Structure 1
Amino acid sequence: MNDHQAFEEVADFLAGTFHQDMGSPEQALADFIVENTKECLEFTLESLLVFMRTNTTEKEKEDFIKSYAEIYFPAMGLTPLEWLENVIGQLKEAVKTK
Structure 2
Amino acid sequence: MNESSSYLKKLEDFLGGTFHQDIDSPEEALDEFIHEASKECLLSTIKDCQGFLNSTLTIQKKESFIENNAEIYFPAISLNPIQWFNQIIEEMKKAVKMQ
- Normalised TM-score (structure 1): 0.96
- Spell out structure 1 runs of 4+ moving beyond 6 A: none
Alignment correspondent of 1:36: 37
Taking only the aligned residue pairs, the percentage that are identical comes to: 44
Q: Are residue 9 (structure 1) and residue 15 (structure 2) matched?
A: no
SS in 2 for 1:93: helix
Q: How many residues are treated as equivalent by the alignment?
A: 98
Matching of residues 1-98 of structure 1 within 5 Å = 2-98=3-99
Give 5+ residue unaligned stretches, structure 2: none
Alignment partners' CA distance in 1, 2:75 and 2:68: 15
Question: C-alpha deviations, 1:16-68, integer Å up to 9, x for none?
Answer: 00001111000000000001110111111111011111000000000000001
Give 5+ residue unaligned stretches, structure 1: none
SS in 1 for 2:60: helix
SS in 1 for 2:72: coil
How far has the Cα of 1:2 moved from its partner?
2.5
Alignment partners' CA distance in 2, 1:6 and 1:92: 18
Alignment partners' CA distance in 1, 2:34 and 2:4: 24
CA RMSD of aligned residues (A): 1.1
Alignment partners' CA distance in 2, 1:6 and 1:53: 12
Alignment partners' CA distance in 1, 2:59 and 2:86: 13
SS in 2 for 1:56: coil
How far has the Cα of 1:12 moved from its partner?
0.6
